[in-house]
Amino acid sequence: MQGEPEVAVLRLGHRPGRDERMTTHVGLTARALGADRLVLANAGASRQDTVEDITDRFGGPFDVEVTEQPNRFLKDWSGSIAHLTMYGLPVQEVEGEIRAAHRSEPLLLVVGAEKVSFEVYERADWNVGVTNQPHSEVAGLAVFLDRLFEGRELDREWEDADRVVQPQPEGKRVVPAEEAAETADE
Amino acid sequence: MQGEPEVAVLRLGHRPGRDERMTTHVGLTARALGADRLVLANAGASRQDTVEDITDRFGGPFDVEVTEQPNRFLKDWSGSIAHLTMYGLPVQEVEGEIRAAHRSEPLLLVVGAEKVSFEVYERADWNVGVTNQPHSEVAGLAVFLDRLFEGRELDREWEDADRVVQPQPEGKRVVPAEEAAETADE
């Protein structure tokens, strides 16, 4: 989030066709829950377009890029690295340490699809399990970000949005961003 | 979770073919993060089988059922209902009230896919947004459950597991459940 060291999410192991929607959900979750950047390894440009389209409509800043060399990206990363995996240490035991590190340096979160190479486990400063149960990389990322930011991400403000959802007890209300800004000024 | 009023997750709007993996991830997330039961509206039995297979291997209790009459299920639900939607009230504002209600009665969480009918918004006691941004029903469910249970779900114990993942700082370790129980007794 702005005013803090960067949090980037590296999505590894995307399998074209099979993983399109999961990769999109990883990207949208990263954006909605406070990450600054999404890096897609070997994913088609169509995933990048989908996430950028949401940012165009609902605001940012949020960057999306595609890398063909994820191992190089990991090797060159300057900051700490947390790899989310059901085989890792319990999030509730390591989150404090990761949060403390993120106060002073960028954090890369690595989120795999099916198989992740052993080099990633070695390169990571922390291998972290959001439970040691099989579930969903989208769920793991979401819980991790909410804990990392301690809920601050839910109050994030968005820039250059085209439209804004206004929370309702019932039903749906979406207004142009200019109108939302006027209401906020009242 | 055991010893508490039930939390069930109703997955609405499953579209065969398109939503298979998302529905599986909703189900596995519900199980891993402390819900007691998954109810699938109009989903094929194959989704039920996938989630039950994980429960057989990694433990329970966790129930999965399919309903062909989700509206009837909603109408007949005895307890409170929270519907997760990006149009709803901010989770950080309503979670305390929902948590308090759940101390004395069952809670049904409704998670949609694409379109959810207006009747669901009306029937719900709370329409809740985990942010008012478009992201993922899997991410929304995960953050909601982690907040509802205030992290207790991460320490849940599993019964009748066939195998257990033992958390590691690096690499993977999966042991037969009997062996894990022996280690725990030492």
The question of ipTM being above 0.90 is answered as yes
Residues in chain A within 8 Å Cβ distance of B156? 131
User: 3-state class of A14 per DSSP?
Assistant: coil
Percentage of chain B with pLDDT > 70? 98
Q: B154 falls in which pLDDT band (50, 70, 90)?
A: very high
Contact assessment for residue B152 and residue A45, using Cβ atoms and an 8 Å cutoff: no
**Contact status of A128 with chain B (Cβ, < 8 Å):** no
Q: A185 falls in which pLDDT band (50, 70, 90)?
A: low
pLDDT of the residue at A181: 80
Query: Domain A7-155 sits in which CATH superfamily?
Result: SPOUT methyltransferase, trefoil knot domain (3.40.1280.10)
Section B39-60 average pLDDT? 92
pLDDT of the residue at A186: 52
Section A86-112 average pLDDT? 98
Residues in chain B within 8 Å Cβ distance of A124? 170
Residue B34 has pLDDT above 90, yes or no: yes
Cβ of B87 within 8 Å of Cβ of A172? The answer is yes
Q: For residue A142, give the chain B residue with the closest CA.
A: B139
Contacting A residues, span 66-95, partner chain B, CB-CB under 8 Å: 86-92
pLDDT of the residue at B17: 87
Cβ of B141 within 8 Å of Cβ of A139? The answer is yes
The pair of structure tokens assigned to A92 is 């509730």
Lowest mean pLDDT among A109-113, A147-151, B50-54, B114-118: B114-118
pLDDT of the residue at B58: 97
Domain range annotation of chain A: 7-155, 159-186
pLDDT of the residue at A75: 97
**Contact status of B46 with chain A (Cβ, < 8 Å):** no
pLDDT of the residue at B113: 83
pLDDT of the residue at B182: 79
Residues in chain A within 8 Å Cβ distance of B169? 88-89, 126-127
**Contact status of A140 with chain B (Cβ, < 8 Å):** yes
Instruction: Classify residue A140 as left (phi > 0), alpha (psi -120 to 50) or beta.
Output: alpha
* B174 Cα to chain A: minimum distance (Å): 8
Cβ of A146 within 8 Å of Cβ of B146? The answer is yes
Q: What span, in angstroms and rounded, lies between the C-alpha atoms of A61 and A79?
A: 21
Residue B186 has pLDDT above 60, yes or no: no
pLDDT of the residue at A156: 95
Section A107-119 average pLDDT? 92
Per residue in B108-142, pLDDT (tens digit) is 999 998 789 999 999 999 999 999 999 999 999 99
pLDDT of the residue at B147: 98
Beta pairing partners, A82: A109, A126
Closest CA to A34 of A155, A136, A125, A138: A155
* A68 Cα to chain B: minimum distance (Å): 25
Residues in chain A within 8 Å Cβ distance of B22? 21-22, 25
Residue A10 has pLDDT above 70, yes or no: yes
Closest CA to B62 of B94, B30, B91: B30
The pair of structure tokens assigned to B3 is 């010893």
User: 3-state class of A22 per DSSP?
Assistant: helix
Per residue in B60-117, pLDDT (tens digit) is 999 999 999 999 999 999 999 999 999 999 999 999 999 999 999 999 999 998 789 9
Cβ of B135 within 8 Å of Cβ of A167? The answer is no
Residue B185 has pLDDT above 70, yes or no: no
Per residue in A126-181, pLDDT (tens digit) is 999 999 999 999 999 999 999 999 999 999 999 999 999 999 999 999 999 988 88
Instruction: Classify residue A172 as left (phi > 0), alpha (psi -120 to 50) or beta.
Output: beta
Q: What span, in angstroms and rounded, lies between the C-alpha atoms of A106 and B1?
A: 36
Cβ of A33 within 8 Å of Cβ of B168? The answer is no
- DSSP tag of A34: T
Cβ of B87 within 8 Å of Cβ of A32? The answer is no
Q: What span, in angstroms and rounded, lies between the C-alpha atoms of B102 and B126?
A: 13
* B103 Cα to chain A: minimum distance (Å): 22
Q: What is the average pLDDT score of chain A?
A: 95
pLDDT of the residue at A115: 85
Residue A182 has pLDDT above 90, yes or no: no
The pair of structure tokens assigned to A29 is 């979750």
**Contact status of A29 with chain B (Cβ, < 8 Å):** yes
**Contact status of A111 with chain B (Cβ, < 8 Å):** no
Per residue in A36-52, pLDDT (tens digit) is 999 999 877 889 999 99
**Contact status of A170 with chain B (Cβ, < 8 Å):** yes
